[in-house]
């Protein structure tokens, strides 16, 4: 029940407040509302929402780098969950979720790049990921638009993409259809903790919502003042610039995701072509640097010369919510009822299904999935508590 | 009087209808209304308005090329008229006209470019234009942000710039203050000619305005069906892409306009930095090509490396209204009461003062200024009439 009398004034209540209406917050809110919890989503607005500018690659093979194996296991599990997640979401929302298993082709634009790529391919072999090594001419047979400079690469046919903007629309519709209330233009500013457990949430307009549970899904802002210092995860904004281009019908520069050492190109069914992304430590800065746009266009053109003929529709910047180990923080904290789902770095869209599943299990009092264990929110807060003790 | 009874229905009238509300149309409308003519401006909307995306260079020296001397004389006269025009407009409109005589520096980025530039400098000498030759180090002393590759160049201290967007606002305000009526979102579709003279104008919504005079200032659309074929000037759209960047206060990449063989960079007082412009024959196509943006950024960066650090605010395309000799068509036609002011190619802002003066003189029954004679509208329509005779 959203509002109840409590003494003199009326007080708002919820079983669960979700702070943040990006892909992670909405996916968790959808699952929670569907499980019967009275769920209130606080949507602070789209300006800083990484989901709005994300490329939407569902590409665990592309993410495989040395030293991040725990993240990779979760990424692989979530990628596997994506087709069913998309189908279920589409049915629940009544609108399209344009998930597409288009595959990805990683290419080296000279012999050095190809040699480096081949070493990464060997890591994939060790990790059991499907990826086939190809000579340059074989790459160009798969993607005739590739530059003749391509010296080799590997094919990862299981990689996929989803346009995050219709995805956000669908998640919002599904959450609402499941009974979640979504308050637009309203930020959560402080969690109210009483005797070690969540009692409520203060909102930007001065109201307080009484709730026993808060899920913080506030992206790059999750290191801010919403949470008490002891459980505040070390999340920082990692700026990325990204371009949206448009190809005329039937004239996409590639059929698969094409990835080089410096750029990726994601073609969508409707003709949109996404080129990303820069990586810059600049704090909460959403300005698009001319130099970044120049480099993205140059590198996309080096790989796929036809990109030059596309229409440039949008240059945007986003803030990847990033932890020290590049893996997200998912699950409970030392404060009873306070859950975190954030720090997804460049993998928020990819990890949305497994993140929502983990939060739903936690809310139901069940065990987190095994692949989520290394990503528990508590891994960063524990040492801080010890220091404070 | 805008409306009068005429038999059964009410008919709209005007002493002068101006079709087009770009810088040329509005400047002419302002002068005409100020002279006492009941003036109606038809503003078809900003989408295709070249003035909205123009760089706003008032740079006759930069425009000096072999074989276009008649245009150059008009350009020099109009540039000279600009300071008084800006001051008068500012007083009439009550809002700022940010005209700024910042000077321009043309640079060559290697010895070949510098040698070519030196030949152009010699042309300036023949034409009596002020421009001083500088060695590379001297260029960098004037503009320390220039790349070390700069091999030489010339300084043209009289060149200026004006931001066309506040200019449009001021012209609109001045025209309205002088009594002109401006109908927004309304295109003129056909001039009504009776017995060899203008009788009225049909509008896009089916209305007809009775008027003895029509000034066509419809930019790249002036070769279209508004005018009868015999007097229709051979104007085509010449696409140009242009970028708007923003520098933090005090961090402009240059103080003067900087021009290379392939790009120009216009710094404004408020921190805006304009980089232009591509030249493409693509018809009425306002899509921004990724390749054009790439080339503009690359070439601006080659000349002024600090451009990479600026914020990229806008990528836009415009349509230069262009005649076969790159000079405008200004003045009367074979149809009594039908005047043209268009085809200004890349010089619409530069030529606005002298164009408005010429049209005002023509409307008053006086002689066109001597420098306008070679730009008369009739130079293209005469041969067509002879062919038809």
Same domain, A208 and A352: yes
In degrees, rounded to 5, the angle at the alpha carbon of residue B381 between the alpha carbons of residues B378 and B382 is 80
Nearest-angstrom CA–CA distance, A254 and A301: 12
| pLDDT (0 to 100) of residue A388 | 39
Task: Kindly write down the DSSP assignment for every residue of B28-57, as one continuous string.
Answer: HHHHHHHTT--EEEEE--STT-HHHH---E
pLDDT confidence bin for A123, thresholds 50/70/90: confident
Same domain, B189 and B306: no
Asked whether residue A228 is assigned to any structural domain, the reply reads: yes
Same domain, A316 and A364: no
> Number of helices and strands (H, E) in chain B?
10, 22
pLDDT confidence bin for B388, thresholds 50/70/90: very low
- Looking from the CA of A366 toward its CB, the CA atoms found within 13 Å total 10
Tell me which chain B residues have a C-beta less than 8 angstroms from the C-beta of A300. 290
Same domain, A151 and A172: no
Q: Is the pLDDT of residue A130 over 80?
A: no
Tell me which chain B residues have a C-beta less than 8 angstroms from the C-beta of A263. none
Average pLDDT for residues B157-163, to the nearest whole number?
96
- Give the dihedral of Cα atoms A340, A346, A349, A355; nearest 10 deg: -30
- In this structure, what CATH number is given to the domain that contains residue B381? 3.50.50.60
Asked whether residue A85 is assigned to any structural domain, the reply reads: no
Of A288, A289, A297, the CB nearest to B294: A297
DSSP 3-state assignment of A298?
A: helix
Q: Is the pLDDT of residue B98 over 90?
A: yes
Nearest chain B CA: its distance from A310 CA (Å): 6
| pLDDT (0 to 100) of residue B66 | 67
For A244, nearest residue in chain B (alpha carbons): B290
Nearest chain B CA: its distance from A268 CA (Å): 17
Interval A185-240: pLDDT, tens: 999 999 999 999 999 999 999 999 999 999 999 999 999 999 999 999 999 999 99
Same domain, A240 and A318: yes
Of A294, A309, A310, the CB nearest to B297: A294
Asked whether residue A373 is assigned to any structural domain, the reply reads: yes
Asked whether residue B88 is assigned to any structural domain, the reply reads: no
Asked whether residue B81 is assigned to any structural domain, the reply reads: no
Q: Provide the token pair at A44.
A: 């602070």
* Residue A11 or residue B387, greater confidence: A11
Q: Provide the token pair at A259.
A: 């990835």
Nearest chain B CA: its distance from A246 CA (Å): 10
- Tell me whether residue A127 is exposed, middle or buried, using C-beta atoms within 10 angstroms of its C-beta: 0 to 12, 13 to 18, 19 or more: middle
For B299, nearest residue in chain A (alpha carbons): A294
Contact (CB<8Å) A290/B243: yes
Asked whether residue A332 is assigned to any structural domain, the reply reads: yes
E-assigned strands of A226-384? 236-246, 257-259, 264-267, 272-276, 311-322, 329-332, 338-342
Same domain, B263 and B278: yes
Q: What is the mean pLDDT of chain A?
A: 93
Nearest chain B CA: its distance from A307 CA (Å): 7
Contact (CB<8Å) A312/B298: no
Q: Of A303, A322, A341, which residue sits at a domain end?
A: A322
Interval A244-298: pLDDT, tens: 999 998 899 999 999 999 999 999 999 999 999 999 999 999 999 999 999 999 9
Q: Provide the token pair at B311.
A: 């914020």
Q: Provide the token pair at B84.
A: 């008084």
- B381 in Cβ contact with B333 (< 8 Å): yes
Q: Which domain holds residue B146?
A: 100-159+236-322
In this structure, what are the phi and psi dihedrals at residue B214, rounded to the nearest 5 degrees? Answer: -125, 130
Tell me which chain A residues have a C-beta less than 8 angstroms from the C-beta of B297. 290-291, 293-294, 297
Of B294, B310, B311, the CB nearest to A301: B294
Strand partners, A248: none
Total number of domains constituting chain A: 2
- Give me the residue label for tokens 């190109």: A265
Please count the other Cβ atoms lying within 10 Å of the Cβ belonging to residue B72: 21
DSSP A7: T
Same domain, A12 and A124: no
Asked whether residue B129 is assigned to any structural domain, the reply reads: yes
Average pLDDT for residues B72-92, to the nearest whole number?
96
- B41 in Cβ contact with B182 (< 8 Å): yes
- In this structure, what CATH number is given to the domain that contains residue B262? 3.30.9.10
Same domain, A127 and A25: no
Closest-CA residue to A152 (of A129, A166, A172, A132): A132
Please count the other Cβ atoms lying within 10 Å of the Cβ belonging to residue A140: 17
Contact (CB<8Å) B307/A290: yes
Does B316 reach chain A within 8 Å, measured CB to CB?
no
Of A289, A307, A310, the CB nearest to B308: A289
In degrees, rounded to 5, the angle at the alpha carbon of residue A379 between the alpha carbons of residues A377 and A383 is 125
Does B282 reach chain A within 8 Å, measured CB to CB?
no
Nearest-angstrom CA–CA distance, A76 and A195: 39
Same domain, B153 and B242: yes
Does A315 reach chain B within 8 Å, measured CB to CB?
yes
Same domain, B210 and B112: no
- Looking from the CA of B208 toward its CB, the CA atoms found within 13 Å total 11
Nearest-angstrom CA–CA distance, A308 and A296: 11
DSSP A44: -
- A322 in Cβ contact with B300 (< 8 Å): no
Q: Provide the token pair at B278.
A: 């591509």
Same domain, B230 and B244: no
In this structure, what are the phi and psi dihedrals at residue B383, rounded to the nearest 5 degrees? Answer: -60, -35
Contact (CB<8Å) B288/A311: yes
Interval B52-63: pLDDT, tens: 999 999 998 877
Q: Of A292, A322, A352, which residue sits at a domain end?
A: A322
Nearest-angstrom CA–CA distance, A87 and A76: 18
Task: Kindly write down the DSSP assignment for every residue of B281-330, as one continuous string.
Answer: --SS--PPBHHHHHHHHHHHHHH-GGGGGSEEEEEEEEEEEE-TTS--EE
Same domain, A220 and A295: no
Nearest chain A CA: its distance from B102 CA (Å): 24
Please count the other Cβ atoms lying within 10 Å of the Cβ belonging to residue B291: 20
pLDDT confidence bin for B297, thresholds 50/70/90: very high
Q: Of B267, B290, B322, which residue sits at a domain end?
A: B322
| pLDDT (0 to 100) of residue B5 | 44
Residues 201-260 of A with CB under 8 A from B: 243, 245-246
Of B287, B309, B315, the CB nearest to A289: B309
Tell me which chain A residues have a C-beta less than 8 angstroms from the C-beta of B307. 290-291
| pLDDT (0 to 100) of residue A383 | 52
In degrees, rounded to 5, the angle at the alpha carbon of residue A196 between the alpha carbons of residues A195 and A201 is 90
Nearest chain A CA: its distance from B272 CA (Å): 13
Asked whether residue A7 is assigned to any structural domain, the reply reads: yes
pLDDT confidence bin for B6, thresholds 50/70/90: very low
Alpha-helix residue ranges (DSSP H) falling in B143-281: 164-177
Nearest-angstrom CA–CA distance, A214 and B217: 62
Contact (CB<8Å) A308/B294: yes
Contact (CB<8Å) A291/B311: no
Query: Cα–Cα distances in Å, from A209 out to A1, A190, A218?
Result: 12, 11, 17
């Amino acid at each position: 029940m959203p509002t109840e009398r409590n003494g003199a004034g009326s007080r708002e209540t919820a079983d669960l407040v979700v702070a943040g209406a990006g892909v992670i917050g909405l996916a968790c809110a959808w699952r929670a509302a569907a499980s019967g919890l009275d769920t209130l989503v606080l949507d602070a607005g789209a300006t800083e929402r990484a989901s709005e500018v994300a490329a939407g690659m569902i590409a665990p093979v592309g993410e495989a780098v040395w030293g991040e194996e725990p993240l990779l296991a979760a990424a692989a599990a979530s990628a596997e969950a994506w087709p069913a997640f998309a189908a279920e979401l589409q049915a629940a929302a009544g609108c399209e979720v344009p998930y597409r298993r288009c595959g990805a082709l990683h290419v080296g634009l000279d012999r050095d790049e190809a040699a480096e790529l081949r070493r990464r391919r060997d890591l994939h072999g060790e990790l059991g990921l499907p990826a086939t090594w190809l000579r340059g001419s074989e790459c160009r047979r798969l993607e005739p638009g590739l530059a003749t400079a391509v010296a080799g690469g590997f094919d990862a046919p299981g990689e996929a993409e989803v346009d995050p903007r219709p995805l956000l629309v669908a998640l919002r519709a599904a959450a609402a259809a499941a009974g979640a209330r979504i308050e637009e233009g309203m930020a959560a500013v402080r969690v109210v903790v009483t005797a070690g457990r969540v009692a409520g949430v203060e909102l930007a307009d001065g109201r307080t919502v009484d709730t026993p549970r808060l899920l913080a899904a506030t992206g790059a802002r999750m290191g801010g003042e919403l949470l008490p210092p002891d459980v505040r995860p070390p999340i920082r904004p990692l700026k990325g610039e990204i371009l949206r281009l448009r190809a005329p019908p039937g004239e996409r520069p590639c059929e698969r995701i094409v990835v080089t050492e410096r750029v990726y190109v994601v073609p969508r069914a409707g003709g949109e072509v996404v080129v990303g992304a820069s990586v810059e430590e600049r704090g909460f800065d959403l300005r698009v640097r001319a130099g970044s746009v120049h480099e993205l266009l140059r590198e996309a053109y080096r790989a796929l010369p036809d990109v030059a003929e596309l229409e440039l529709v949008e240059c945007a910047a986003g803030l990847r919510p990033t932890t020290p180990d590049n893996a997200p923080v998912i699950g409970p904290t030392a404060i009873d009822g306070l859950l975190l789902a954030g720090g997804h770095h460049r993998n928020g869209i990819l990890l949305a299904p497994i993140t929502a599943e983990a939060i739903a299990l936690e809310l139901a009092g069940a065990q987190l999935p095994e692949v989520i264990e290394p990503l528990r929110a508590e891994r960063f807060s524990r040492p801080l508590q010890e220091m404070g003790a």
